[in-house]
Amino acid sequence: MRIAAAVIVAGLLAITTSSARGAELHAERSLYRNIIVYEDDGIRCMKFGRQASGRQTCMSVTDRDRLVFDYTRMMMAALYLNPAPRRVLIIGLGGGTLPSALQKILPAAKIDAVEIDPAVVRVAEKYFGFVRGPQTEVFEEDGRVFVKRMQKQRTRYDLVLLDAFDHEYIPEHLLTREFLLEVRGLLSARGVLAANTFASSRLYHFESATYFSAFGDFYRLKRSNRVILVREGALPDRGELARNAEVVEGKLTPFGVGKEWLLPLFEVESGWPPSTRVLTDQYSPSNLLHGPS
């Protein structure tokens, strides 16, 4: 009986291990990172590395339009600052969630998506259904290099989304005041910047001070992540936010985004103590500070 029980337990362990392995759809080591794609309970995700946390993209297999992460829904709040951007820049592709959604929400907009890792682009297309629309172009290069080139070409964007992450956090050179000022140089007269950051980390106040030094006051929306929103010129007041929310409500509903959830999340962050050091190209120790607070 003990032998039989041991065999049963061993069999159950084998089945569990096999099931866990079966959920892994793809694994590869690219030039930049380990890329894992797995599926669990109808949700398909991409992550960089084999750590338990740190998913870069998740998608509902049965409802691909629905935005799974809070942060992706909060990034759509950028349309409350400018409901009709004509040219969009997205830095960081992941599974293509943001460009896929914006292609449908803004079919006339020209979208430039920048992703440093060609393997991520391939995985987005094969496993997450990312298809480049007729107005979408993907650039396989470093985001900051792309921004500098667009500066030289005097390109202007109505909406810029910053969503570049490695297996730990945002790359250091995409966190600094110099980089944010370069991005600001790409914004049109009423251009909007939306940035995905962590809601709780030892970098939180450093990032806040850095964004404030580059843009002044900004809106932030915070759940599991913090999304920072700025607009060239001046931030819209609550009345304008509500009016713009009405304009785009019908377009966002299919993606699981609504004004009743989004509007209450808007809060203004303003000013930081002089003792909070601004992140710069000379001082950006995110490798030491990115962890939980």
Residues marked as catalytic: 163
Distance CA 73, CA 275 (A): 33
Residue whose pair of structure tokens reads 């590869």 in the numeric block: 28
* Residue of 65, 107, 111, 68 lying closest to 88 (CA atoms): 111
The amino acid sitting at 5 is A
Question: Cα–Cα distance between 55 and 92 in angstroms, integer?
Answer: 14
Helix, strand, coil percentages for the chain (3-state, nearest 5):
40, 25, 35
Q: Under 8 Å CB-to-CB from 87, ≥6 apart: which residues? A: 109, 110, 111, 112, 155, 156, 157, 158, 159, 188
**How far, CA to CA in Å, does 256 sit from each of 61, 101, 212, 251, 268?**
15, 11, 31, 10, 24
